[in-house]
Structure 1
C-alpha cells in the first residue's frame, strides 16, 4: 500500500513509500483512508515544535474513509461504511488521562496519509450522510474542539462567543455557535475573511490589524458586558486581551499558541470576573460523536479553504505554514 512518511522534522522531509498492508485483529477495523485535514499540531510536528517519539512517521492526525474489513467481534460497522477516524483512538470518553490522550495519530500512532490503517472499531464514528470525505476529515480536532468549548461554557441562545482568527476551529465554532442561537464576534487581519465570516452568520467583526485593542471592541459591542466564551488560539499576544474581553463567569478556552506559549495574566481580573480558564487537547471519541451529530443536525457544511492531492503534501503544509492565508480548513485527498 502507498503512504507518505515524514522522515525528519522538516517540511522537506516528506517521502512517498510503499508499506505492507495491515490486517485487522479482534475488535479492530481496516479503514481505507480517503481524506485528511491539517491542524496546527501537524505543522508543529513537521517543524520540530512538537515532540514525537521517533521518525519516520506517517503524519496527519485527522482523517476519514470507509471500512475495508473488520476483525473478529466487530459488529457496529460493516464493510463499505463511511467513517471518521478519531485523532486520539484510545480516549473513549470521560476526562483526559495522560497515557490515553498522548496516543495521537500522526504523532505517536500512524496518521492519515496512508492507503489503509488499522484502528480500534471503538475509535470510529459514522460519517454524517451529507458530508464529503474531505468535510468529514475536518471534524476530529476542529469540530470536536469547537463543540467541547461551546459545551464547557454552556453556550446557548443569547450567549456571546468571541473567536480569535479564522482558522479551522474558529470557523467551526462560528457555525456551531450560530446553530444554537449565540451572538458571535470574530477577529481577523483580513477584511475579505471577515466578509466571509459574516456570510456564515457572524454578528460582529473586528480587524485586529486596524484595531489592535480588539478586546476593547468586544466590550463596546457587548455594552461593557464582555463575551461568555472566548476561544483562545493566539497565546502570548492575545491571552491578556482575552481576559479583558471576558464577561463575568466566562470561559477562556485555550486551544492554541500561534504567537507563543508564555503569557502574562492579570490574576486579579481572573479572580474578580470568576473566570474559567480551560485548557483543551481536543476531546474523546464520545465528544467527536456528539460533534458529528451536532454538525448533521444543524445541516452545516465545514468550510474547506483548499484541497490538495496526497502527492502535494509538502505544498499543503507550506500553505498552512504561511499563516493567515487560509479560511477554515485545509484538506488532503488520500485515495
Structure 2
C-alpha cells in the first residue's frame, strides 16, 4: 500500500499573532499498526484559536505549533491491528485525543489538539482510532468540521448533570458557534430559547433558527431585567455563558433559583461585581459549571441526536475559506462579523 510521503500544513513561526502562520511541506510517516491515517477535508476555527495565536491561551505549546482542533476528513489508511475502522470512513477527531469518556484530567488536557498537542490544520494526520468519531451521513465535511468543539461544548452544557428537558428556558449569548448550536439543540429538544446579540440582523437569524425571544443588548443594556420580564420573574433554567466576567453578573440575575450557568468563554472581556458571585450562588442555590468541550462518548451521543433531528440541528456556516487563505479566515473570525462557524476547506 502506498502512502503520501508529505503533508502541507500550517505552523507558527512564533506566537503573538495569526499573521505568523506559514505553510510548509512536512514529512509524513505512515501509520503504525495501531493507527489510522486521515485526509483532512475541512477545519473550523474557534475563539480558542485566536487565544493560542496571541499567546493568551493557558497551555504549554510545542515549538512550531500546527494549529486548530476541529476537523472532518476521510480515513485513507488503516494499521493492521486496528479494528472497527476502514478506508473511506468519514470521521471527526475529538478535541482532546484521549478524552474517551468521563471527566477531563490533566493528562487528557495535554492531548488537546492545536495547543498542548499539534493540531489539525494539515492535509493529512495520523490518529489513534479511539479519538475518532463517525460523521453523521447527512452532513458535509465542512458542516461536520464544526462539531468537535462548538457543537460538543453546547451539548455538554445542556445535557450535563441535570439534562435539558422540554419546556425549559435557555438563554444563549450572541451568535457565535457555541451559542448557535446551543440554540439549535435546545429547540430540537422542545425548550424555549432567549437569544441576545448586539445586532438586529443577527437576531433575525437566531429567530429563523427557532429563538422565541430576542434581546439587543446594545439597545437594552439591562438585558437581565428583560429576561426576568420574559420569564415573569422566574428566570431561565440554563444560561450558556460565553461572555465571561463581562456578562456573568447579569447571568446571575437572569438565572432561576436552582438554575445552571454553564461557563464556556470570556469574549465580553473584564467586568464588575464579581464579588457578588459567591453570594448569588448561595442565595439562589444555583450551579456555575465550567465546560471543557466533551468526550468521545458524548460526541457519539450528540451525533445520534443530530441525526434524529437533521433539519433543526444542521450546522450554520458563515463563510468557507480555501486552505491558501487560512490567515484571512482567522481575520474574519476576529472581526466577530460572523454568525455560526468559520471554516477552512483543506482539500
TM-score bracket relative to the smaller structure: over 0.9
- The answer as to 2:319 corresponding to 1:311 is no
RMSD: 1.2
User: Cα distance 1:109–1:54, how it changes in 2: closer, same or farther (>3 A)?
Assistant: closer
State the secondary structure of the residue aligned to 2:99: coil
Partner residue of 2:301? 290
- The answer as to 2:71 corresponding to 1:60 is no
- The answer as to 2:14 corresponding to 1:8 is yes
State the secondary structure of the residue aligned to 1:73: coil
Task: From 16, 23, 45, give the equivalent of 2:30.
Answer: 23
Per-residue displacement from partner, 1:64-102 (whole Å, max 9, x unpaired)? 100011113212111011101111011110011111123
- The answer as to 2:343 corresponding to 1:328 is no
**Superposition deviation, residue 268 in structure 1:** 2.3
Task: From 28, 36, 49, give the equivalent of 2:43.
Answer: 36
| TM-score normalised per structure 2 | 0.94
Task: From 48, 52, 59, give the equivalent of 2:55.
Answer: 48
Per-residue displacement from partner, 1:36-81 (whole Å, max 9, x unpaired)? 0001111110111114423311111100100011113212111011
Equivalences, count: 334
State the secondary structure of the residue aligned to 2:245: coil
**Superposition deviation, residue 241 in structure 1:** 0.5
**Superposition deviation, residue 262 in structure 1:** 6.8
Conserved? CA contact 1:240–1:265, under 8 Å: no
User: Cα distance 1:261–1:101, how it changes in 2: closer, same or farther (>3 A)?
Assistant: farther
Partner residue of 1:252? 261
User: Cα distance 1:262–1:282, how it changes in 2: closer, same or farther (>3 A)?
Assistant: farther
Aligned-partner Cα distance in 2 for 1:89–1:156 = 30
Conserved? CA contact 2:36–2:129, under 8 Å: yes
Partner residue of 1:72? 80
**Superposition deviation, residue 7 in structure 1:** 1.7
Conserved? CA contact 1:45–1:52, under 8 Å: no
Q: How does 1:232-247 map to 2 (within 5 A)?
A: 232-247=241-256
State the secondary structure of the residue aligned to 2:171: strand
Gaps of 5+ in 1: none
Say which is worse superposed, 258-267 or 289-298, in terms of deviation.
258-267
Gaps of 5+ in 2: 1-6
**Superposition deviation, residue 201 in structure 1:** 0.4
State the secondary structure of the residue aligned to 1:87: coil
Partner residue of 2:4? none
**Superposition deviation, residue 248 in structure 1:** 1.2
